[in-house]
Amino acid sequence: MNTDAPSPIRPTDDEARSLARDLMNKARFAALGVVDPESNAPMVTRVAFGTTPQGGPATLVSDLSHHTRALKANPAASLLVGEPGSRGDPLTHPRLTLQAKARFLRHGAAGYTEMAAHWLRDHPKSRLYIGFADFSFVLFDVHAAYLNGGFGRAFVMTPADLGL
Amino acid sequence: MNTDAPSPIRPTDDEARSLARDLMNKARFAALGVVDPESNAPMVTRVAFGTTPQGGPATLVSDLSHHTRALKANPAASLLVGEPGSRGDPLTHPRLTLQAKARFLRHGAAGYTEMAAHWLRDHPKSRLYIGFADFSFVLFDVHAAYLNGGFGRAFVMTPADLGL
């Protein structure tokens, strides 16, 4: 790293923590990054996004999806939440990158019922397919987070900063 | 793979090719997936998105960004374009996943002037920082593409399907 360059990283404060938590709470979809088992290269897809009853990030996926097969082969994942609206500069809109390990929560497993009830409150349309045998939740254990509050306002965060 | 399960992949037709090309042409930002050199795990961030004069995917990045350092260490990348509007179900909105290798195009290199002129037509606000020494273009050589035209409408595409 060029030590002459000014660091773009600001010290994390409560305003940044609150913004990051808010981005997670409001997101209904995310960009999911996985390692493609066929090419060993990154692959980014759109997935539904929500939280667990404990506030952790989660998604609901089908076994038929490429990203689901990838996460079964390698649980390393990243999620980007915080979608720009249709107006304004998208690069000034705040967004949060999470790095995490994926864990599957299948029908019948301990905690599934509570997770499904929590999910359906925020994702009522999932009722159409949540019961299908090939659908399961993926819970993400976050180990690092990066908040970009807009051009030049970057923060490196811990799970504790997100209340996790 | 479970051969009892119906394949969600449809045969690629001209309508799908046209939709994929349209998503690339209209996108002004994307979710970029890279391999984080610090953790060797995927990392997804938001970047500006545009095309080269030849129609290939491109972005404009700062050397200060984490994803830039990652792409210098490992050029394997993925891009997700096709942002849902503020209304409707985001998972029924069409989107395109690209898998590619990143190539840097710096100030003064052959083709830089043409690329910058092309970029500024679609990204006029970039004029504020495109001249900074730490900014450069990244051009992506696509090797695979996946179009999701909405729930259950998936296509596996080649660069030729995208006119590349």
Q: What is the mean pLDDT of residues A76-105?
A: 90
pLDDT tier at A7, thresholds 50, 70, 90 = low
Using CA coordinates, name the residue in chain B closest to A88.
B125
Say if the Cβ atoms of A44 and B39 lie within 8 Å.
Answer: no
Q: What is the DSSP letter of A10?
A: P
- Delineate the domains of chain A, giving CATH numbers in brackets: 14-82+94-159 (2.30.110.10)
Please compute, for residue B150, the number of CA atoms within 13 A of its CA located in the half-sphere on the CB side: 7
Report strand pairing: A50-51 vs B57-62. unpaired
Task: Judge whether B25 and B39 are in contact, CB under 8 Å.
Answer: no
pLDDT at residue A92, rounded to an integer: 83
Rounded Cα gap, residues A60 and A25, in angstroms:
16
Say if the Cβ atoms of B99 and A28 lie within 8 Å.
Answer: no
The whole model's pTM is what? 0.94
C-beta neighbour count of A94 within 10 angstroms:
18
Portion of chain B with pLDDT greater than 70, in percent:
92
Name the 3-class secondary structure at A50: strand
Portion of chain A with pLDDT greater than 70, in percent:
92
CB-CB neighbors (< 8 A) of A8 in chain B: 64-65
Interface A-B: count of C-beta contacts within 8 A: 127
Name the 3-class secondary structure at A21: helix
Mutation target to probe the B interface, by most B beta carbons within 10 A, among A2, A3, A4, A43 is A43
Interchain contact A39–B (C-beta under 8 A): yes
Q: What is the DSSP letter of A103?
A: E
Rounded Cα gap, residues A9 and A11, in angstroms:
7
Mutation target to probe the A interface, by most A beta carbons within 10 A, among B1, B44, B45, B79 is B44
Torsional class of B5: left (φ above 0), alpha (ψ -120 to 50), beta (otherwise): beta
In the predicted structure, residue B3 carries a pLDDT above the cut 80: no
Q: Where do runs of H (alpha helix) occur along chain B?
A: 14-26, 66-73, 112-122
Q: What is the mean pLDDT of residues A106-114?
A: 97
Of A117 and B1, the structure prediction assigns the larger pLDDT to: A117
Residue whose token pair is 């095309």 = B51
Interchain contact A71–B (C-beta under 8 A): no
pLDDT tier at B5, thresholds 50, 70, 90 = low
Q: What is the mean pLDDT of residues A93-99?
A: 96
> Chain A closest CA to B76's CA: distance in Å?
6
Read off the tokens for A67: 């990203």
Mutation target to probe the A interface, by most A beta carbons within 10 A, among B9, B10, B78, B79 is B78
pLDDT digits (tens, 9 = 90+) for A144-155: 999 998 766 899
Read off the tokens for B116: 């910058």
Residue whose token pair is 């993925």 = B78
Spatial CB neighbours of B43, under 8 Å, sequence gap ≥ 6:
A33, A78, A97, A99, B33, B34, B35, B36, B66, B67, B70
List the 100-159 stretch of B: residues with Cβ below 8 A of A: 125, 134, 143-144, 146, 148
In the predicted structure, residue B162 carries a pLDDT above the cut 80: yes
Residue among A8, A79, A134 minimizing CB distance to B44:
A79
Say if the Cβ atoms of A63 and B2 lie within 8 Å.
Answer: yes
Rounded Cα gap, residues A164 and A9, in angstroms:
22
